[in-house]
Amino acid sequence: MTAVVDEETPLLADVQPQAKPQITPLPWNQFVIVLFLQLAEPLTSQVIYPFTPELIRSLHVAKTEAEVGYYVGLMQSLFFLTQAVTVLHWSRLSDHIGRKPVILMGLCGLSISMYSFGLSTTFWGLVMSRALNGALNGNIGVIKSMMAELTDQTNVAIAYGYLPISWSTGGTIGPIIGGALSRPAERFPKLFGNSLFLIKHPYFLPCAVPATFTLLAWLVTFFFLKETVESPVSIWHLLGWKKDKANLFSGESTTELDASQKPLPLKKLLIRPVIVAAVNYALLAIVDIAFRALQPLFYSTPIELGGLGLDAPRIGVILSFFGILNGFFQVFCFARLNAIFGSKALFITGIAAAVPCFLLFPVANALARQSHDGLGWACWSVVALQVALSVFVSLCYGAVFIYIAAAAPNRASLGATNGIAQLLCSIVRAIGPAMTNSLFSLSIDENHHYLNGMMVYWVLLGVTAVAIWAGFLLPRKVWKDEKTS
């Protein structure tokens, strides 16, 4: 009897146990390009982290040191807030017109917004640039969809093991650029001391580097990237320069595709596997972004107020150390660990690693307060341990991406499925930094000093507990053919 194919048929079906499948080789010529393009995202987002607290202080918008956290959190959240408004649109659009034109538009938006951020001399200029960065960039979900289309069930875990290379490289190089090239006229007076432009725009140089890289990525996309969507609608039809009977958002196309290969309406995508996978992705995102947002603020805050009192270059080195360690661990360990323990166990273990990561913040501050000569080896050991443990949190991404790809009702709706997941992720990432840094500011506020400066950590431990609970809703194996709606 022929199996029925409908909107709830899984994209990735379970392999029959009696035969071990041969692993399909990855299409390296296109796969490497996709990894290269993905680098633009973390590079442009991470480059501002080391100098954002310093930048906020220089604009004098924060009246007290405690208020710096509010503005830093707002700056970090704006990207994800505006991205949440547009990401589903970009992802669904890519199901119809193809991945390549949407990626080109996203890269263009990233480059323009980063140049604008570096040229801004007012707080509201920074706000507008950061908002533009998120609104014009729909590449996150689109590139994940393209990666899924370049793979199958036998090599998808291997592919997602390589995906963190881009994020780790961006997470390594970005903070180094941001920390080393900020205020170049002051830091390198022999080279830039006479540059009136860099004196007026002390943070343009670190922003211009990723912005220029993004322009290079645009050229690589235009000339070398191949489309992965079958029979996409021409961009000329989209712009109305050529008549076409296709309805871009109804799933109706002039091409004679099987009904199961048409992009489905949004309401038919809201089935249980998609919702469960998307919610777990969102909870992972808020735990991870809270930790990543708190790190540079905690490191830069004076010791007596609850931080470590580090400058931007040293913060950049620490964040870069994480990038190197994470990239190495993901490439050489993720696929093997996923094969041995399964995606669910890997996901839950990674989320649980966030518990000691948050608890080590107050431990590091306590050790710093006791040291009379620098931070001391004990404090630095705690920082190193915290960075190492945070690598396990990053392992969760590969695992949850496998679930999201498997949850898609059909391959033609992969972009929209990733868009739904990315929408929820962007919403919580918009909330996470502002919430976390505001809680940190409240915790260290000398007028309140909630729970002896520990309030932010207790709240984040509670959020982590919810994320661990949600992880148990994932099936032990990727969804079978009998998905329930």
Return the pLDDT at 176.
82
For residues 68-93, average pLDDT: 80
List the alpha helices (DSSP H) in 371-454.
376-407, 414-444
Instruction: Let me know: does 274 contact 281? Beta carbons within 8 Å.
Output: no
What letter does residue 16 receive in the DSSP assignment? P
pLDDT value at residue 253: 38
Does residue 318 have a pLDDT over 70? yes
Q: Tell me whether residue 194 is exposed, middle or buried, using C-beta atoms within 10 angstroms of its C-beta: 0 to 12, 13 to 18, 19 or more.
A: exposed
Instruction: Tally Cβ neighbours within 10 Å of residue 423.
Output: 20
Q: Are 300 and 53 in contact (CB under 8 A)?
A: yes
User: What three-state secondary structure class fits 121?
Assistant: coil
pLDDT value of position 479: 67
Q: Is 371 helix (H, G, I), strand (E, B) or coil?
A: coil
Mean of the pLDDT values across residues 386-391?
Answer: 91
Cα–Cα distance for residue pair 203/213, rounded to 1 Å: 17
The residue ranking higher by pLDDT, 384 or 175, is: 384
Biggest CA–CA distance in the chain, Å, is 79
Residue found by looking up tokens 């899984």 in the block: 10
Residues 219-241 have a mean pLDDT of 75
User: How confident is the model over 150-202, as pLDDT tens digits?
Assistant: 887 777 777 877 776 777 777 678 878 888 888 888 888 888 888 889 888 89
d(CA 100, CA 139): 10
Of 28-37, 379-388, 415-424, where does mean pLDDT reach its minimum?
A: 415-424
Residue 473 — very low, low, confident or very high, per pLDDT cuts 50/70/90?
Answer: very high
pLDDT in tens, 435-471: 887 888 787 766 555 556 678 889 999 999 999 999 9
Structural domains present in the chain: 29-226+267-471 (1.20.1250.20)
Query: What whole-number distance in Å separates Cα of residue 367 and Cα of residue 362?
Result: 9
> Which residues lie below 8 Å from residue 349, measured CB to CB, with a gap of 6+?
341, 392, 395
The mean-pLDDT minimum among 16-30, 58-72, 356-370 falls in 16-30
- With 50 as the cut, is the pLDDT of residue 269 above it? yes
When pLDDT is cut at 50, 70 and 90, the band that residue 11 belongs to is low
Computed over every residue of the chain, the mean pLDDT equals 80
Bridge partner list, 252: 247
Q: Which residue has the higher pLDDT, 209 or 53?
A: 209
Rounded CA-CA distance 479/144 in Å is 19
Residue-level pLDDT at 236 = 60
Q: What is the mean pLDDT of residues 308-335?
A: 80
Percentage with pLDDT > 70 across the chain = 84
Please report which confidence band the pLDDT of residue 243 belongs to, taking 50, 70 and 90 as the band edges.
Answer: low
Angstrom distance (rounded) from CA 207 to CA 267:
40
Closest of 353, 354, 378 to residue 368, by C-alpha: 378
pLDDT tens figures, 126-139: 889 988 888 877 77
Of 6, 4, 8, 33, the closest CA to residue 275 belongs to 8
Query: From CA 322, how far away is CA 22, in angstroms rounded?
Result: 34
Buried b (16+ CB within 10 A) or exposed e, 155-185: bbbbbbbbbbbbbbbbbbbbbbbbbbbbbbb
Confidence category of residue 205, pLDDT binned at 50, 70, 90: very high
